[in-house]
Structure 1
Amino acid sequence: MKYPKMRPVTAFPVTYSGKQMICLKDASGLVENTVVVPKPIFFIISMLNGKNTIRDIQAAYMRQFGDMLFSDDVQKIIEDLGKNLFLEGERLEAYLHKIKTEFKQAATRPFLHLGNGPHLEPERFKGELASYFRHPDGPGERSLEIPSGTIKGIMVPHIDYMRGGPCYAWGYRGMENLGDVDTIIILGINHTAGDPLFSVTPKPFETPLGLMETDKDFIQTLIEKCAQDLLEGEFYHRGEHSVELQTVWLKYLYADKEDVKIVPVLCGSFDTFIAQGVSPIQDARVGDLINGIKETITALGRKVCLMASVDLSHIGPPFGDGSRVSLGDLADIRGADLETLKFVEALDREGFWQSVARDANRRHICGLSAIYTLLSIIEAREGKLLKYAQWRDEQGWGCVTFASMIFCQ
């Protein structure tokens, strides 16, 4: 391979065996392998952009570090990356073809994101979820004082449970007041692609607590009512965690209600609309999905709950920022987030959009498209913020914020 090229990866600092290293993960989530390398090797990897030869990389390394780099060493790095499916080429294409074929033929969507092991045994896993309610940052054991049947929607995080578990618990504590419901429409985020803009899957979701069934009649009716092809991007559901992490909580919450089903919808990036300076509603695909969901609810007479599975701000070098996040920065981030969430509480869709778009989404709010879509569909009187939380890397390399909210009639 004369001009080796890396596929898109996420790079972030880690401490490994007492040393500062860089961890690489596939940005799409389709490749499960991770690679941990020292910074000089990461410099070499950063040169694998499809434009540099091995000789180019050797010259750049000499300029950067003043040391000689042998071509055999570069070739070994390239070979190792290829084996781990981090390089574009025939090996990667064969792997992607294989998993796409397997997913298309599969009857269910496999459970992927919490690994394997004893922690996924049903009773042990239920205990873990229950612990988040009792956590000092959780809502406790008491139900919220909200009349039953008044909840029309919910917003919850999709960060991992270790960092966001208590915040999830706040949202699901509010959901206990939902009342009778047939279908939960989960608006997740497609972290991999912006196109197609929206995608669904009728495949039931495997979870450690049993199968989370999908509302196939709703999904089929929605597909028929929408002009866009909602199955074009179905494969993205395979590796996306934003829907999966909610199905576990729903199986826990509705253990005795097997008739409750979900409609998984992945929402792609709205960054193009920010760059164009236009509201998303001006795009035909956005209106098409919004109207399609509304019409399907009416046509089938479903009692539905809308759910936005979202995180908020992503700040720091891993997300494209030039500096680390200090403890002092957290207050500023919190202030900006809470200002944005006021528009969500007020069900002000365009106000919410402008609060994010006016600075070109400087906070990298990944939940933008799902929240906008929820606000376009939901028939509620107000939103109520239950919990706002922040996670910051100890060294300040990154910060992610998230919240739980309910929407009441």
Structure 2
Amino acid sequence: MHFSHTMQLEYEGLSMTRIPVVAGSFYEGQSDILLKRLANSFLKGLGPGKLPEGEPGNSRKLRALVSPHAGYMYSGMPAAHSYLRLFEDGKPEHIVILGPNHTGRGGRLAVCDEDWETPLGTVKYDRQLGQQIVDQNKTAMIDCVAHSAEHSIEVQLPFLQFIFRKGLSFVPVCISDQSYEVCESIGNTLAKLGEKMDILVIASSDFTHFETAESAKKKDNQALEYLENMDPEGFLRFVRGHGLSICGAGPIAAAMIFAIQRGATEFKVLKYTNSGEVTGDKGHVVAYCAAEIL
């Protein structure tokens, strides 16, 4: 058996472990330095200004979150807004992370059935929920190839480990087919499963890429209006029709479809910013949005 140099598999009983592929590039590869980066993401600059200290809350009103997935230098602080809200809301029984497919590898709706390692330890694959997703959704399949070099889901995990410390499991779903039909199908599947279990969905997405800060904000604000009106189909149609470069538009739409069926009535932006706030270059930015759906 041959593995790519970007990924290794290790047997642990009946499970395998995905080795991180962007540790040391998107985020620090050493645990102590990574912990400092995460703490600073909460405390400094564009972050929320406080740490997730003490015990997590227990209200569990959140249905879904939107979190960016760039290098932590740029998107760590906005992402911290989403994860502070999750900490304050409480630890869900089950977590699903929906991410886009940047590499073109693998299937249309790919569930990876491996445990995932980060510099902070291992996050277990939620086998119970993952198998039910694949069983109940005709497009979903067990496929780790789609995840082998994909960063959008991996970069969420250290934040989850930072706020909840231990006992974490999740289901990673990489969406390469971001048609409304596929997004609706996975949203519906998760909503049906959510009738019997406590599920939180995290949609991993950056917003407009490689435009001026002013242009990006104008386009993103128009797209966000659809989300604030709880209109995932209109959001996806607008993004496609106007050529917006919101890479995780499909995961966001799927998360909203799930959330609406689970009783959510509000989409709230927690933080909107762009890479130019860090680099000083407002002429060529990537925009980031942290948001909650409840």
Deviation at 1:289, TM superposition (A): 2.7
Following superposition, the deviation at residue 103 of structure 1 comes to 5.1
- Tell me if the contact between 1:297 and 1:304 (Cα under 8 Å) persists in the aligned partners: yes
Pick one of 292, 298, 305 that aligns with 2:189: 292
Indicate yes or no: 2:252 matched with 1:371. Answer: yes
Query: CA deviation digits over 1:9-58, x for unaligned, max 9?
Result: xxxxxxxxxxxxxxxxxxxxxxxxxxxxxxxxxxxxxxxxxxxxxxxxxx
Rg bigger for which structure? Answer: 1
How is 1:28-107 mapped onto 2 (pairs within 5 angstroms)? 97-99=2-4, 106=11, 107=16
Is the CA contact (8 Å cut-off) linking 1:386 and 1:403 kept in structure 2? yes
Instruction: Report the structure, 1 or 2, having the larger helix content.
Output: 1
* Aligned counterpart in structure 2 of residue 330 of structure 1, from 185, 202, 213: 213
Contact 1:314 1:364 in 2 (8 A): yes
| Whole-angstrom CA distance in 2 between matches of 1:229 and 1:352 | 23
Q: Give the letter for the 1:388 counterpart.
A: Y
Match of 2:65 among 150, 154, 178: 154
Change (3 A) 1:229 1:406: closer
Map of 1:381 onto structure 2: 265
Task: Give the conservation status (yes or no) of the 8 Å contact 2:108–2:139.
Answer: no
Uncovered stretches (5+) of structure 1, i.e. residues with no partner: 1-95, 274-279, 316-324
1:190-205 to 2 correspondences below 5 Å: 190-193=101-104, 196-205=107-116
C-alpha displacement of 1:297? 3.0
Matches within 5 A, 1:168-183: 168-183=79-94
Compute the displacement of 1:228 (Å): 2.8
Q: Counterparts of 1:120 and 1:194 in 2: how far apart (Å)?
A: 25
Q: Find the counterpart in structure 1 of residue 38 from structure 2.
A: 129
Give the gaps of 5 or more residues in structure 2: none
Aligned counterparts of 2:22 and 2:33: Cα–Cα separation in 1: 17
Task: Report if aligned partners of 1:193, 1:269 keep a CA contact under 8 Å in 2.
Answer: no
Counterpart of 1:266 (choices 174, 182, 186) is 174
**TM-score under structure 2 normalisation?**
0.85
Instruction: Using the TM superposition, give the Cα deviation of residue 396 of structure 1 relative to its aligned residue in structure 2, in angstroms.
Output: 7.3
The answer to whether the Cα contact below 8 Å between 2:106 and 2:146 also exists between their aligned partners in 1 is no
Asked if residue 252 in structure 1 is aligned to residue 167 in structure 2, the reply is no
For these two proteins, the number of residue pairs brought into alignment is 279
Cα–Cα, structure 1 residues 120 and 330, in superposed 2: closer, same or farther, change >3 Å? closer
Structure 2 partner of 1:403 = 289
In 2, distance between residues paired with 1:399 and 1:230? 35
CA distance in 1, matches of 2:218, 2:185: 34
Q: In the TM superposition, what are the counterparts of 1:21-32 in structure 2 within 5 Å? A: none
Q: Measure the CA separation in 2 of the matches of 1:394 and 1:340.
A: 25
Q: CA deviation at 1:152?
A: 1.6
Partners of 1:142 and 1:103 lie apart in 2 by 34
Secondary structure class of the residue paired with 2:123: coil
The separation in 1 between residues aligned to 2:117 and 2:51, in whole angstroms, is: 30
How many Å separate the matches in 1 of 2:119 and 2:235?
36
TM-score, structure 1 normalization: 0.62
What is the CA–CA distance in structure 2 between the aligned matches of 1:124 and 1:394, rounded to whole Å?
Answer: 24
CA RMSD of aligned residues (A): 2.7
CA contact (8 A) 1:104 1:235 kept: no
Quick check: 1:189 aligned with 2:108?
A: no
**CA distance, structure 1, for counterparts of residue 225 and residue 177 of structure 2:** 22
